[in-house]
Amino acid sequence: MEKKLTTKRCRLLNKQKSLILQIMKRSLILSILFFSITAFSFSQKISINKGKVSLYEALKEIKKETNVDFFYSDKELNVDRVVLANFTNTDVVEIVSKLVGKMYNVQKTEDGILLITPLYTNNFQNEITVTGIITDNFNTPLPGVTVLVKGTKQGATSDIDGNYTINAGKESTLVYSYIGFKTQEVAINGKTTINVTLQPEVKELEEVVITGILQRKKESFTGAIKSVKKEELKAVGNLNVIQSLKTIDPSFIIQESNTLGSNPNRLPDIEVRGKTSISTDNLRDEFGANPNQPLFILDGFETSLRTIIDLDMNRVESITILKDASSTALYGAKAANGVIVVETVKPVAGKLQITYNSDLRIEMPDLSDYNLMNSTQKLEYEKLSGLWNAPYDGDVLGQFKLDKQYNATLAEIKRGVDTYWLNEPVRVGSTLGHSLYASGGSEAITFGVGINYKDLKGVMIGSNRETWGANFNLTYRKNKLNITNSLYISGYDANESPYGSFSNFAKANPYFRKTDANGNPTKYLDINGFYKTSYVNPLYNATLNTLDNSNKIQLTNNLRAIWKLNNKFRIQSNLQLTKANTTSENFLPPEHTDFIDTDISERGKYSNQRLENFSYKLNVMASYASVINEKHSFTSNLRAEAEETNNERLGVTAVGFPVGTNGNPAFAFSYQPDSKPSTAQSKYRRINLLTSVNYDFDKTLLFDATYRIDGSTVFGSNEKYSPFWAVGAGINLHNALNMDPEKVSLLKLRGNVGSTGNQGFGNLSSVSIYGFTQDTNIFGQGTDLLTLANPNLKWQNTLNTSIGLDAVLFQNKVTATLNAFKKKTDPLVVRIDLPSSTGVFGYPINTGYMDTKGIEAIVRVSPIYKPQEQIVWTLGFTTSAIKSEYGGFNNTLKSLNDAAEVSQSLLRYRDGFSPDDLWAVESLGIDPANGSEVFLTAEGLPTYEYHSENEKVMGNGRPTMEGIISSNLRLKNFTFGVNLRYRFGGDIMNTALFNKVENISRDQRIYNQDVRALTDRWINPGDISTFKSIAQFNTTPISSRFIQEENVIIGESINFGYEFRDQQWISQLGLNRLRLNAYMNEIFRISSVKTERGINYPFARAISFSLNAYF
Amino acid sequence: MKKYLKNIIGILGCILIVSCSDYLDVQPEDKYLEEDVFSSETGIQTALNGIYSNMTSNNTYGSNLTMSTVDVLGQRYNLVSDRDAFHYYAIYDYENTGVKTTFDKIWTGLYTNILNINNFIQGIETYKENISDEKRRLLKGEAIALRAMHHLDLLRLYGPIYSVNAEDKSIPYYTEAKAELNPLLSATEVITKILADLTTAEELLENDPVREFGKVAIFQDDDDDSGYNGTDFYRFRNLRLNYYAVKALQARANLYAGNKEAALTVSKAVIEEASKWFEWTPPQKIISAGGNPDRTFSSEVLFAMQNIDLYNNHKNLFASALNDNSILAPEDSRLNNEIFENNQNDYRYNPIWALPAVGEKQYKTCFKFADVSDNRKEFRFRQPLIRISEMYYIAAETETDPAIALTYLNTVRFNRGLVNLEVGVNIPNEILKEYQKEFYGEGQLFFYYKRNNFTSIPNGSSPTGNITMGKDQYVVPLPLSESDFRQ
C-alpha cells in the first residue's frame, strides 16, 4: 500500500467563524483578483460548457462571461474542488448555487457582487477538542488522513505521526478518509481521545499480492506467501536482502558453508521449503544453477542470485516469498523450489524527494572455534606420536640427528617462540556504503534517479567486494496509458585475499617464527635447515603481487507499457534487455610456492576468463476483472512470454613469467603447454503461455486456478512443451461466520495443489551430441560422441500440496500463519554412470522420487500494544521442520553411492531414507587395550575391521526444528529488536575431529593440529579415550564417532534504532526525518559441538550502523 | 470489450502457434548434434575418424593394449622391484588398486568406443541419403570390423582361456547404441558374433580400393574411375581397417577359437592377395637408413594407427633417460641370449635394441617407437596393430604339412635377415620365438601365451626361470564398474 507522505494542504478552518463582515474583510484581501468591477448587470442568464473543471475555473469563466464578481473565503470554500460546469441559459445565481452546493448561501449584493457564505452556524458551547492517532492495520501511523465532522466542512489532517486534533460538537460524528483505505465513521459521544485503525480498501486491481507476474487480490488469494517490506528488511541488518530474509521467514534457509565462512564473494546455497532435486554437480551444465535454489524475480524478470545479493538494500521496496503451488505455478518450469519476488522502489509524483542512506559495517573474525596447540603442546604431541623417533631401532645416527633437531626446536620454544598464526591473515573489515535516491515529477511524468556504492571488506586481508549501481526510472501517464522505463547499470569488483586459504595458517606450527631477523616473512618455515623447502611460510605468498579478481558490469533496461481500456480490462507488456560482461583474472607470480617443482619456463601463471551474457525477455498480458451483483468477483489473466539467453565464455592461460613481473600477460613466455583456450557457448530460449483465474464470493469463499504451458530448448526433441497447473481454494472464516472483528479480524483457511517443474539443470539433451577430438591425424580431426541421447527423459515435476491458516486476532495483538506442505518430486532426474560396458557415463535418467513434508509457523504476539502512544512490544516465534524421503530407486543409483563412499561423503541415495541422512559405520569407541577402533557389524558383533557394508544411518543433517525467536520493542522514536536463531536436532560430521584429531597421517604430524590430538588420544594401555592411539597412522574411515548432534543458538540480529523528527535541528538541516540504526549480526553462537568453522575463510561477527536521511 | 478480448487472444494464439516450434529449435553452438554430424559426407567422415582417433588413447591401443600393460603381462620386461611402475602388473596382482584402475580404463575405453562405433553405424544408416551408397558400404564395413576388433581384444583379455573354458561367461557384445546393459555371453558366443561381424564387414568392403590400388589407393589429382577422387579420406587404406585387415582379423579370431582350418584358409588368402600391396620392408630402409630407420617395418603393416602421442609414449616408457623404476626394459641377458639368440643379423635386433649412448644404463633399451630425424617420413607416428607377418605365423601354425609350414616361417625369417630353418625343427617353438621377436610393443605375445594356455612362461624379471601361469594370471577380472552391476 503506497502512502503519500506529503501533507495535503488543508483549506478548512479549525474554528468556524460565521461573521460575514469578517469574511468580507478577509475576502477583500484574499480574493483581490476578483475585485475589479468593470461592468454591472442584473438577472443575467448565461450558458457555459466547460465540463469537469475546478470550481475556481468555473467561477473565473462566469466572471469573464458576466463581469459578476465574487466574495468568499478560500478558507471556507474549496475552490479546487472539481465541478461539472455545464449550464444552458441559466441564471448566474442559480449556476453559482449549484456549483458551490447546498451548504452555501449565494447572495447577490446591490453592486453586483455574489456573496458566497456557509449556511451552517455552530453552537460554540457544545464544541470539544478531540485528539487521537490514526494508524494502518500494520500499526504504522498514517499521516495526511482527512478527518471531517460529518455533515460539515469542518476538518483536520493527521500529521506525520498520525496524530490529529479537531474541534467538533459533542454529539457529532467524525469521518476519517484516506486514499486506499476504507472511510471510517466514529461517533464522538463526548470522548476526547479517539484512536482509529484504518482498514485497507479492497478495490479491483488495487490491493494486491505481488507475484511478480500478475497482481492478485490479497483477500481472495489462496497461496502461501510471505511479504516483507523494506523497513522490516532494514530493521534486521544491512548486509544484503538475502541475509535479512532468512531472519524473517523460517522456510527460507541459507546453508552455512563451513569451508567458505563469511567470504564476501561466496554465493550461498539457499533453500525454500527443503530440496526437490538430487544435486550432483554433473547434473548441471556450466551455466546452470543449483537445482535446489529458488527462482529470483527482480521487477518482474528472472534474475540471478548474484544480482540479488549485490542489490542495494535501499533500492528494495518489498520482497515476497512464494512458497506453494498457487503462487509458484505462475512460474512453471523453474519454480519447484519457490520464488523470491523483489520489487524495487518506484518513483512517486510530487515534489522532489531525496533519500540518502549510509551503511557502515564492521566485521570481526570469529576465531573462537579454533582449538589449536601452542608450541609446547605441539612439540609434546610430536614426541608422543613418534615423530622424533628414528624409523627403526638401532639407527643411532638417525636418532642423533632427530634428537639434535628436537632440542633445537625445544630451545626455540624456551626462547618464547609461540606464534599465533591465525591472527596473521585477518583484519577488522569495515564497509561503507552510500545510496542516494531522488524522485518526483508531475502526475504525467515521474522520475526516479538513484546511485549506490558499497565496498564490502571481508575479514581476510585483501578480500573485498565493491558493488555499485545507478538506476534511472521514468514513468509517463496519460489517460489510459502508462509507460515506464527503468534502466539499471550495476557492477562489482571482487578480490580474493592474497593470503590464500585460511587453513594454511591453521596448519603452521606455533614454534616457527613468522619472519627473519629483518622482519621479512621467510619463504619457508624452518629451524636449522631441517625442513628445507617442505614447509612453506603461509605469509610468504601474501608478500607477492598475486591477483585474484573478478569484475562485472551489467546493463538492464526494462520497458513497460500498461493500457487500461477501462476499469475492468487492461493490457500490459514488458520488455527487458540485459547485457553483462564478467572478467576474471588470476595471476600467480613465478616466486609463488606453487611453482617450487615447476620448470623455470613455466613458473608464474596468468589466466583470464571472460563471460558475456545477453538476454531479452518479452511478455504481453491481458487482465480482466469484474464484479457481478457485488458478490461475485472475477479476475482473469492471459499472458504470453518469450525469452532468449546467450552465454559465451572464453578463457586463456599463459605461463612463464620473469621474476618481479606485474602479471601483465605480455611478459608471459608462452601459453600453458598442451592446453587450448577454454570456451563455451550456449543459447537458451523459452516461451510460455499462462492463464489464471481468480474468483471470490462475497469475500468469503475463494478460488484460484492457474495453468501454464512451458516450451523450452532445454527440453529434448520429443518433449519441448511441459504443462504446469495449480488450483487453490480458501475460506475467510471471519466473514463466513460473522466473527466479532474486535476479536477476530482475519481468519483464513486456504489450501492448494499444483505441479511445478525444475529446470535448474542446464541443457540436458535428448539428442546425441558430438564434439571434436583433441588429436588430429592424416584424415583431419575427428568427432566423438560426447553424450548419448535419452529421448524418453521426462522432466522433473514436483507435486506441491499446501494448506495454511492466517489469523489476526484481538485487534492485531496476535497474528499467526501456520502452513503445512508436501512436495513430491516424481520422477527425479539423475545423471548416473551405467555399467561401464555400455560406454555410457553421466547419463540422465528418470528414477525414484523425493517426498518432502514440512510445517512452518510464524506467530507474533504483542503483550503491550499501544500504537496510539507508540509503545508496542512484539514477541515473535518462527519455526520450520522438514522431512524428506527417497523412494523408487531400487539399485539404479549404485554408482552414485559407490562414488560417495570413495569420496567419504556421508550421503547415500537409498529407498526409504532421507537425503539428509548421514551414513557411517557404527563405532563402539576405542579399545583401551590397544588404542584401535572397534566397529559394530550389521549383525551387531564387534570387529576391528571396517567394512562399508556395515554402514547405517547414524544421524540426519537436517535440524528437527529451526527458526527465530524475536522480541521487538518500539518506544516512541526508539526501537529495539533481538532475533535469535535456534536450531536443534540436526547432526553434523565434525571435520575437525576427523581431520585434525584422529586422521593425522605420518606426513601431517609436522603441521599444527587440534589440541585434542594431544589430550584426547589413546597413549597407554588402559587409557579410556575417544580417539585412537596417538601413534597410529592408518586412515580412519568415517564412523559414528564423528557424527555429533548440533544444537545451536545464534545471535543473528540485535538492533537498535532511533528516529529524529520534529526536532528543530532536523528541519534546520533541511531534513524531513533522520533515522539511525545499529545492528549486531552473528554476534554470538552457542553450539553443542566443538569444531573448526570457516576452514578456508573465517566466519565474522558484525556490528553495523545505518543512517537514513529524508529530505 | 469481448471483441477486444477475442482479438487479443487470437493474436497471441497465432503468434504462439506460428513461431513457437521454430523459435525453440536452437542448435548448441559449441557442440554438434547427431543430425548435424550426419548431415554431410564430411561430417560422417569426421565421425568415423573420431573412432580411429579414440583408439590412439593411451587407455587402449595407444599404450595399454600395445606398448605397456599387455606386453608387461607377456613378461617382456624386467620389473623385479616393487618400486617399478609396472611391477604389480608383472606379478598379475589384479587386486592392486593401480592395476584395477588400468584394467578398468582399458575395459571402459574399449566399450566407450564401441558405443561410438554403434552410434556411427546407426547414424550412417539413418542418414544414408547424405552419402553415396558405395562410400557408405565402405565406411560401415570399417566400423563393423572395428567393433569386432574391439570385442576380440576384450575377449582375449577378460575372457576365459578359450581352449579350456570356452563356455565360460566372458564379456557382453554390443551391436546397438543404447543405454542398456547386455548380458555376459560365453566365449564361444562372442567369437560367433565377432566372426559374423567380420563376415558382414568383408562383404561391405568387397570393393575396398585397397584391393585394386593398394594402400595409398587414390591420389587427389588422379583421374581414376574409382569414384573416390577429390578426397584424401579414401587414401591410406593401411591406416584404416581395410579389406585385408578384416581378413587378417578373421584369421586371428578363428585361430583364437581353435578353428584352424578356417584360420589357414583366410591367412593364406591374405598372403596371396595382399603381399603385392604390403611388401616386405627392405633392409636398407631399416639398417642403412641413417637417422630414419623404419623400425616398425611400416610397409608390412596391414592396419596401423596414426598416433600423435607415439613418441611421447616412447619417452615416457622406453627412453634411456628414464630412471630404472620407470623404464620398461627387458632383462638384458634374456633379450640377447634367449630372444634374439645373439643373432646380430636380425633386423629386429640391433636397429631396435641398443645400449644407451649416454647415461648409466648397462642394458639395452627399446628404440622401436623412437622418433626419426626426418620429420617428413611417411611412417612417422604409425603404430602397428595388424601386420602381415602374423598371417605367415598363423599359416605356419595351422598348416598340417610341416614342409609348407616351414616355408611360411622361412619367408618371414628371410625378410628379417635370418637363415632358413631346416626341416625337423620344432615348428611351434619357432613360431613362439617369432612372436617374441616380432611383436615387441604390439601386445600380441600375451594373447599367444593365453591362446596356447602355456602353464609356464619365461619370467621377464629374472635372467632365468619360468613363471607359472594359469587362470588367475591369464584371465583379467571384470572391473568393478562392470561387475558391481552384475550381481
Question: What is the pTM for the complete model shown?
Answer: 0.73
> What pLDDT does A128 receive?
80
pLDDT tens digits, residue range A245-281? 888 888 888 877 778 888 888 888 888 887 777 765 4
Q: How far is A721 from chain B (nearest CA, A)?
A: 10
Question: For B181, which residue in chain A has the nearest alpha carbon?
Answer: A838
Residue carrying C-alpha cell 561430417: B43
A1050: nearest Cα among A293, A366, A240: A366
Three-class HEC string of A728-767: EEEEEHHHHCCCCCCCEEEEEEEEEEEEEECCCCCCCCCC
pLDDT tens digits, residue range A825-878? 888 887 778 888 888 887 878 888 889 899 999 999 999 888 777 888 999 999
Percent of chain A with pLDDT over 90: 11
Burial A725-736 (b: 16+ CB within 10 A, else e): bbbbbbbbbbbe
pLDDT tens digits, residue range A731-783? 988 888 888 888 888 888 989 898 887 765 555 566 788 888 877 888 888 88
- Chain A CB contacts of B113 under 8 Å are 839
pLDDT tens digits, residue range A897-914? 777 777 777 778 888 888
Interface residue of B56, B112, B178 to substitute, partner A, most A CBs within 10 Å: B112
> What pLDDT does A687 receive?
86
Question: For A764, which residue in chain B has the nearest alpha carbon?
Answer: B28
Let me know: does B339 contact B330? Beta carbons within 8 Å.
yes
Of A203-212, A470-479, A846-855, A1042-1051, the one with minimum mean pLDDT is A203-212
**DSSP string computed for A898-929:** HHHHHTT------TTS-TTEEEEE-EEEE-TT
> What pLDDT does B9 receive?
60
Range A413-437 average pLDDT = 89
pLDDT tens digits, residue range B58-116? 999 999 999 999 999 999 999 988 888 899 999 999 988 899 999 999 999 999 999 99
**B179 to A834: CB separation less than 8 angstroms, yes or no:** yes
Range A68-78 average pLDDT = 74
Range A543-548 contact pairs with CB under 8 angstroms and sequence separation of 24 or more: A544/A498, A544/A589, A544/A591, A544/A592, A545/A587, A545/A589, A545/A662, A545/A663, A546/A498, A546/A587, A546/A588, A546/A589, A546/A592, A547/A495, A547/A585, A547/A586, A547/A587, A547/A663, A548/A495, A548/A496, A548/A498, A548/A585, A548/A586, A548/A587
Let me know: does A331 contact A757? Beta carbons within 8 Å.
no
- Chain A CB contacts of B308 under 8 Å are 775-777
State the Cα–Cα distance between residues A1007 and A1061, nearest whole angstrom.
59
User: Using CB atoms, which residue from A713, A773, A841 is nearest to B50?
Assistant: A773
pLDDT tens digits, residue range A323-355? 887 777 777 777 778 888 888 888 877 778 888
3 state SS of A788 = coil
pLDDT at B159 exceeding the cut of 90: yes
- Chain A CB contacts of B236 under 8 Å are 778-779
State the Cα–Cα distance between residues A507 and A512, nearest whole angstrom.
11
Entry field: residues in chain A = 1111
DSSP E strands: which ranges in A657-720?
670-671, 678-697, 701-712
Residue carrying C-alpha cell 507476474: A213
Q: Could you give phi then psi for residue B388, rounded to 5 degrees?
A: -70, -25
- Quote the Cα angle for A363-A367-A369, to 5°: 130
User: Using CB atoms, which residue from A566, A620, A715 is nearest to B12?
Assistant: A620
User: Using CB atoms, which residue from A679, A786, A839 is nearest to B114?
Assistant: A839
**A837 to B172: CB separation less than 8 angstroms, yes or no:** yes
3 state SS of A27 = helix
Let me know: does A791 contact B122? Beta carbons within 8 Å.
no
DSSP state of B181: P
> What pLDDT does A6 receive?
34
> What pLDDT does B18 receive?
52
Q: How far is B7 from chain A (nearest CA, A)?
A: 11
**A770 to B33: CB separation less than 8 angstroms, yes or no:** yes
Q: pLDDT: is A673 or A491 the higher one?
A: A491
Percent of chain B with pLDDT over 90: 67
Interface residue of B7, B17, B53 to substitute, partner A, most A CBs within 10 Å: B53
Let me know: does A237 contact A217? Beta carbons within 8 Å.
no
Helix then strand count (H, E) for chain B reads: 21, 7
Q: How far is B439 from chain A (nearest CA, A)?
A: 24
Interface residue of B49, B59, B174, B232 to substitute, partner A, most A CBs within 10 Å: B49
Q: How far is B54 from chain A (nearest CA, A)?
A: 8
User: Using CB atoms, which residue from A571, A685, A790 is nearest to B26?
Assistant: A685
pLDDT tens digits, residue range B433-476? 999 999 999 999 999 999 999 999 999 999 989 999 999 999 99
Interface residue of A838, A840, A901 to substitute, partner B, most B CBs within 10 Å: A838
**B24 to A642: CB separation less than 8 angstroms, yes or no:** no
Let me know: does A1011 contact A997? Beta carbons within 8 Å.
no
Residue carrying C-alpha cell 474583510: A25
> What pLDDT does A715 receive?
46
- Chain B CB contacts of A569 under 8 Å are 1, 4-5
> What pLDDT does A203 receive?
41
Question: For A790, which residue in chain B has the nearest alpha carbon?
Answer: B179
Find the farthest-apart pair of alpha carbons in chain A and give their distance in angstroms, rounded.
137
Task: Give the confidence band of A33 by pLDDT, cuts at 50, 70, 90.
Answer: very low
Question: For B117, which residue in chain A has the nearest alpha carbon?
Answer: A785
3 state SS of B182 = coil
> What pLDDT does B400 receive?
92
C-alpha torsion sign, points A504, A508, A514, A520: negative
Q: How far is B361 from chain A (nearest CA, A)?
A: 25
Task: Tell me whether the omega of the peptide bond preceding residue B293 falls within 30 degrees of 0, making it cis.
Answer: no
Q: Which residues pair with A640 in a beta bridge?
A: A620, A689
Max avg pLDDT among A4-8, A21-25, A367-371, A629-633: A367-371
**A720 to B21: CB separation less than 8 angstroms, yes or no:** yes
State the Cα–Cα distance between residues B146 and B120, nearest whole angstrom.
11
3 state SS of A572 = strand
State the Cα–Cα distance between residues B67 and B85, nearest whole angstrom.
14
State the Cα–Cα distance between residues B63 and B239, nearest whole angstrom.
17
Let me know: does A93 contact A64? Beta carbons within 8 Å.
no
Interface residue of B30, B231, B310 to substitute, partner A, most A CBs within 10 Å: B30
Number of C-beta neighbours around residue B17 at 10 A: 9
State the Cα–Cα distance between residues A493 and A491, nearest whole angstrom.
7
Residue carrying C-alpha cell 488522513: A145
> What pLDDT does A8 receive?
35
CA separation, residue B241 to residues B106, B248, B369, B442 (Å): 20, 10, 21, 16
Let me know: does A130 contact A192? Beta carbons within 8 Å.
yes
CATH fit for domain B2-214+236-318+362-486, picks 3.20.20.70, 2.130.10.10, 1.25.40.390, 3.40.190.10: 1.25.40.390
Q: Which residues pair with A879 in a beta bridge?
A: A857, A963
A368 CB-near residues (< 8 Å, 6+ apart): none
State the Cα–Cα distance between residues A330 and A336, nearest whole angstrom.
11
Q: How far is A783 from chain B (nearest CA, A)?
A: 5
Of A199-208, A555-564, A576-585, B399-408, the one with minimum mean pLDDT is A199-208
- Chain B CB contacts of A715 under 8 Å are 24
> What pLDDT does B108 receive?
94
Q: How far is B251 from chain A (nearest CA, A)?
A: 26
Average pLDDT of chain A is 81
Of A74-78, A630-634, A906-910, B131-135, the one with minimum mean pLDDT is A74-78
- Chain B CB contacts of A711 under 8 Å are 20, 24
Average pLDDT of chain B is 89
**B119 to A785: CB separation less than 8 angstroms, yes or no:** yes
Max avg pLDDT among A48-62, A194-208, A934-948, B126-140: B126-140
- Amino acid code (one letter) for B86: F
Question: For B174, which residue in chain A has the nearest alpha carbon?
Answer: A838
**B107 to A836: CB separation less than 8 angstroms, yes or no:** yes
Q: How far is B444 from chain A (nearest CA, A)?
A: 23
- Amino acid code (one letter) for B232: D
Residue carrying C-alpha cell 497461496: A223
State the Cα–Cα distance between residues A168 and A126, nearest whole angstrom.
8
Burial B299-320 (b: 16+ CB within 10 A, else e): bbbbbbbbbebbbbbbebbbbb
> What pLDDT does B109 receive?
95
- Chain A CB contacts of B111 under 8 Å are 836-839
**B5 to A624: CB separation less than 8 angstroms, yes or no:** yes
A514: nearest Cα among A489, A473, A542, A551: A542
Interface residue of B31, B34, B151, B190 to substitute, partner A, most A CBs within 10 Å: B31
Q: How far is B216 from chain A (nearest CA, A)?
A: 12
**B16 to A689: CB separation less than 8 angstroms, yes or no:** yes
**A679 to B56: CB separation less than 8 angstroms, yes or no:** no
Which spans in A419-575 are helix H?
A: 503-507
Of A339-348, A534-543, A1064-1073, the one with minimum mean pLDDT is A1064-1073
Kindly state the cell numbers that stand for B357: 649412448
State the Cα–Cα distance between residues A273 and A882, nearest whole angstrom.
7
pLDDT at A986 exceeding the cut of 50: yes
Question: For A572, which residue in chain B has the nearest alpha carbon?
Answer: B8
- Amino acid code (one letter) for A106: V
Interface residue of A682, A722, A770 to substitute, partner B, most B CBs within 10 Å: A770
A635: nearest Cα among A711, A704, A546: A704
User: Using CB atoms, which residue from B25, B35, B47 is nearest to A783?
Assistant: B47
Let me know: does B327 contact B79? Beta carbons within 8 Å.
no
**A769 to B28: CB separation less than 8 angstroms, yes or no:** yes
Range A11-21 average pLDDT = 37
Q: How far is B31 from chain A (nearest CA, A)?
A: 5
Let me know: does A329 contact A725? Beta carbons within 8 Å.
yes
**A640 to B16: CB separation less than 8 angstroms, yes or no:** yes
State the Cα–Cα distance between residues B480 and B487, nearest whole angstrom.
11
- Chain A CB contacts of B56 under 8 Å are 775, 777
**A838 to B174: CB separation less than 8 angstroms, yes or no:** yes
A1102: nearest Cα among A433, A236, A363: A363
- Quote the Cα angle for A1048-A1051-A1053, to 5°: 140
pLDDT at B382 exceeding the cut of 80: yes
Let me know: does A250 contact A1086? Beta carbons within 8 Å.
no
Count contacts between A and B (CB, < 8 Å): 199
**B52 to A894: CB separation less than 8 angstroms, yes or no:** no
**B49 to A782: CB separation less than 8 angstroms, yes or no:** yes
